[in-house]
Amino acid sequence: MEALRKLLPPFWKRGAAAYIARQMRIAVPTESDPRERRVAVTPDVVAKRSGGEVGFVVQAGCGIRAGFGDEEYRQAGAEVAGGLDHLKGAEAVAVVGPPAPEIISRLSPGTVLVGLLQPLERPEAMAELAAAGLTAFAFELVPRATRAQTMDALSSQATVAGYEAVLLAASSLGRFFPMLTTAAGTIAPAKVLVLGAGVAGLQAIATSRRLGAMVSAYDVRADAAEQVESRGAGFVTLEVEPLDATAAGGYARELEMSAQERLLAGLAEHVARADVVVTTAAIPGRPAPRLVTADMVRSMRRGSVIVDLAASSGGNCELTRPDQVVETDGVTVLGPTDLVGRAATHASQMYARNVAALFELIFPEGKAVIDLGDEIISGACVTHDVEVIHPRVRELLAKGRG
């Protein structure tokens, strides 16, 4: 009898009928956007979380572009299903980007949906999720609190974007990043200017430093100088009053017009001296702040490169065009929107751990507990009980319909 207890602990603790009845199922479909290479749940997360009260079912081929084959999922303990029928009856569904209508139509009312849903850019789509009866959580709205760090998908993915931005700049620049002393003479290091010292900016600084460049950076937030200098870069000091980031939940805010004009005037000389400019400034739900004007671009040396990480929200550079290469007076302006997908394997692993951490909060014992008194749950929850409940999204919907 004792041997049986050791072999079947779930039966002994919870009763065979309860265990056999049904695991909570977490479903993972292939991403709706054909350009998306990431996957929401990776085999390592399946191996750690599946069994007992939780089971994973993934769509065949969903992880291929991120470097994870179906057999890896099976070995980790997941069920691999063809088509989208596996979504029916699932208690939870994890996606990277916004799901297509054919995915939403297969989800049962009450299903928990988590992903980078773009709630502030697509409020009407959030209303559709509410109408479908889904409880949707958007990683973009997870509060930047200490307890939520393991769920901060924006930060994990921004780390990848900052790294890839510098690699793209280095491969596009017709110069070396490090200083080289050779028989043919000494090569001076490249000068890199990073605008925006959030997670992506700090990673861009660190990567540029590792490649041997001379790095300087600027951010409007009051605590940015210390973070920039801790990465070995010089902080650009301008005659602009720093902003308190805590007043905006850790995110940058817009400057007043007069301060914006002083900012552009102060940055002009630093941009002109740079070989590479990496811009990372973003304001959630708003167009990206303008940091580099067309005149600044023309002031740079021929062969210089600008990589604009804010291209999808309008760009920090006036000349940026999403996913296009713009050349002006010999300066190349790049506006990639797929940087994170270029390191899809590690980006997916990091994102999947964010997903797992959020699910642990929502499903503490294999059953959804939507405790709106919890700051993380209330902060990230967009729709619940057939309503859009997030105040910012509700406000956007009201403005759009007014």
Q: List active site positions.
A: 144, 149, 152, 155, 251
Strands (E) across 54-179 are located at 54-59, 79-81, 92-94, 112-115, 135-138
Q: Identify the sign of the CA torsion 168, 331, 235, 175.
A: positive
The alpha-helical segments, DSSP class H, found in 137-256 are 153-172, 199-210, 224-230
H/E element holding 218?
strand 214-218
CA–CA separation, 7 vs 291, rounded Å? 63
CA–CA separation, 29 vs 100, rounded Å? 10
Residues with Cβ < 8 Å from 396, sequence gap 6 or more?
120, 123, 285
The total number of residues shown for the chain amounts to: 402
Q: What does the block give as tokens for 152?
A: 């901060």
H/E element holding 194?
strand 191-195
Check: CB of residue 343 under 8 Å from CB of residue 163.
Answer: yes
CA–CA separation, 117 vs 126, rounded Å? 8
Q: What does the block give as tokens for 39?
A: 């996957």
Check: CB of residue 333 under 8 Å from CB of residue 302.
Answer: no
Give the single-character DSSP code of 156.
H
CA–CA separation, 22 vs 28, rounded Å? 18
By the 10 Å C-beta count (0-12 exposed, 13-18 middle, 19+ buried), 252 is classed as buried
**Integer Rg of the chain from CA:** 24
- Residue from 137, 164, 161 nearest 151 by CA: 137
